[in-house]
Structure 1
Amino acid sequence: MYQILLVEDDKSIREVIADYMDEKGKDTMRLTLAEDGRACEGALERQTFDLIMLDVMLPDIDGFTLCRMIRKKDMVPIVFLTAKGSEEDILWGYGLGCDDYIVKPFSLATLYAKILAILRRTKQENKKETITCGAIRMDKQSCQVFVNEREVQLQNKQYEILRFLMEHKNIVWSRDALLNHIWGYDYIGVDRVVDNQIKKLRNALGEEGKRIQTVVGRGYKISDA
């Protein structure tokens, strides 16, 4: 049974989503409802969730701030449900580490399909002890990295960056997002530390380092292509 947290201050929207999810996913998912940021924090203290649906415009702590706080401790999938539909807001949401960004109004059927797809994908990814990208293979249990079956020695931060990128292939991550995920939100320093570690990581991976691509003006991603 998937455990899902819905954080939405609009009671009517909260109830409509809850009713639909309860009917469609009664055998697969269970919803916990929170009306604001404080209630969200309380729910997260009491139990763990498989996915969080998060409104942005909440009366106390906005959804973007909540996302940053959650990402400091957990990689649980986060789906924003919000009326803030500008490109700037959407890119900001993805930069913070959300898994999807859905603009209101939306189809309940589409929302359910997206939620189910993310849950299934995450379940499969969590089962994998080995992840690959091209000729790069990472054993998450032993924290070893191989290129063409030859082990590559990486420093801790380089390994963490590579693992994060490989677990989120083809997604562009800004420097700020990587700083938040790898170094933590309390990191005090310059964002160029990300560039330096990416450069060292590419060098360590040799020819396969080209799979870590720079997306000008946006950040970095890793790709099989």
Structure 2
Amino acid sequence: MRRILIVEDDVIICGGVKLFLEQRGYAVETAYSRKEADACMQHGFDLILLDRNLPDGAGLDYCRQLRGSMKVPIVFLTAKDTDEDMIEGFRAGCDDYIAKPFSVELLYQRIEAVLRRSIEDKNHARFHYKDMTVDFERMQVFLSEEPVKLSGTEYRILELLIRNKGRVVTRDTILQRIWDCDGNYVDENTLSVHIRRLRQKIEEDAGNPQYIITVFGIGYTFGEEA
């Protein structure tokens, strides 16, 4: 049974949405403040309905806080419905935005759509190729089921190449997309160093790579040359 947390200080809205969703097979918990929501988080949820205005802090700030520690889908419930308000919500990390007053049937359909996307994302959260497994959700890399310790920049380079498997990623593209852990831009020489170190960690023979393939004069590709 999928679990939903409603974080909403309006008792009537909270109770009505809870009853409606329970009738459609969801397990629902409610919280009327950020403090109460924090106490519920240990239970684990498939989706959070979050009001933007809470008695002990802004829902936007809470959304950003949650995004820093979990990937559970978040849907805002709010009376603030201007384009600027919605853009602000999406920038804070929400997955959808429902303006009050709303139809509970519409809310239900939007929840179903967000959960479908979440399930699809989880199905693509692990990548397997030869002896390598990458867990994108946890940012972990395994070779023959043994963990490989990569730096933040090394991981981002590897993920970028994997996400573009079958295509050549130019050096310029990598330079535009990848920043080192100190926030300094990665120049040509530094990029070459990161590629070499990454190969030393993941390739059985760094001189004859099977994962990160150089396309001379252009850039790199993952696996068989594109």
What TM-score comes out, normalization by structure 1 length?
A: 0.61
Paired with 2:57 and 2:115, the residues of 1 have a C-alpha distance of: 26
Secondary structure, aligned partner of 1:105: coil
What RMSD in Å do the two structures reach over aligned CA positions? 3.7
Question: Does the alignment pair 1:100 with 2:96?
Answer: yes
The percentage of counterpart residues that share the same residue type is 34
- Name stretches of at least 5 consecutive residues in structure 2 with no aligned partner: 143-152, 164-178, 192-213, 222-226
Question: Does the alignment pair 1:156 with 2:155?
Answer: yes
Q: 1:160 to 1:10 in 2, by over 3 A?
A: farther
Paired with 2:160 and 2:61, the residues of 1 have a C-alpha distance of: 23
Q: Deviations over 1:84-109 (max 9, x none)?
A: 11222211111111100111111111
Q: 1:163 to 1:52 in 2, by over 3 A?
A: farther
- Tell me by how many angstroms 1:119 deviates: 1.3
1:11-50 equivalences in 2 (<5 Å): 11-23=11-23, 25-26=24-25, 29-44=26-41, 46-50=42-46
Residue of structure 2 aligned with 1:91, choices 57, 62, 87: 87
Check the 8 A contact 1:38/1:61 in 2, yes or no: no
Check the 8 A contact 1:79/1:100 in 2, yes or no: yes
Check the 8 A contact 1:56/1:80 in 2, yes or no: yes
What TM-score comes out, normalization by structure 2 length?
A: 0.60
Secondary structure, aligned partner of 1:92: helix
Secondary structure, aligned partner of 2:70: coil
Secondary structure, aligned partner of 1:6: strand
Paired with 2:7 and 2:65, the residues of 1 have a C-alpha distance of: 14
Q: Deviations over 1:105-133 (max 9, x none)?
A: 111111101111211221232123249xx
Residue of structure 2 aligned with 1:140, choices 126, 129, 134: 134
Partner of 2:9: 9
Check the 8 A contact 2:161/2:220 in 1, yes or no: no
Which structure is higher in RCO with an 8 Å CA cutoff and minimum separation 6? 1
Secondary structure, aligned partner of 1:22: helix
Q: May I ask how many residue pairs the two structures share in their alignment?
A: 163
Check the 8 A contact 1:52/1:78 in 2, yes or no: yes
1:66-145 equivalences in 2 (<5 Å): 66-128=62-124, 129-130=126-127, 140-141=134-135, 143=141
Paired with 1:52 and 1:106, the residues of 2 have a C-alpha distance of: 17
Q: 1:86 to 1:3 in 2, by over 3 A?
A: same
Q: 1:11 to 1:116 in 2, by over 3 A?
A: same
Secondary structure, aligned partner of 1:140: strand
Q: Which has the larger radius of gyration?
A: 2
